[in-house]
Amino acid sequence: MIASQATLSHVDDSQQPRMVDVGAKATSQLIPLCHPLSFDRCDIAIRMEHNDALIDCTVSCRGSTGVEMEALTGASIAALTIYDMCKALSHDIVIGEIRLVKKTGGKHDIGVATQEPT
């Protein structure tokens, strides 16, 4: 995602957790065959790297199911929210690659992704 540091200042720290929490909790309503889950934790971190806003979303629960769809949805909703807040400044904003970086629990654990985005 491309945004400037000044643009991202509109997303204050108090709004970031709400952004991801709302997005992650809506997963079962947005994606067919995803069932609603209760989370223990749902965190978001947005950091700037050059002109890119990098969004990390972490979700955890105590159940024996994975919550990767909730984390991916939370990151997606955060990116869309930033786009919505910044579109008055530019419609040239690009939401780039969204990927699972790490998952533990559920049927399979997945380690840190080794392929760098191009």
Which residue numbers are catalytic? Answer: 84
N- to C-terminal Cα separation, the chain: 13
CA distance 57 to 70: 9
* CA nearest to 52, candidates 15, 86, 12: 86
CA distance 31 to 20: 16
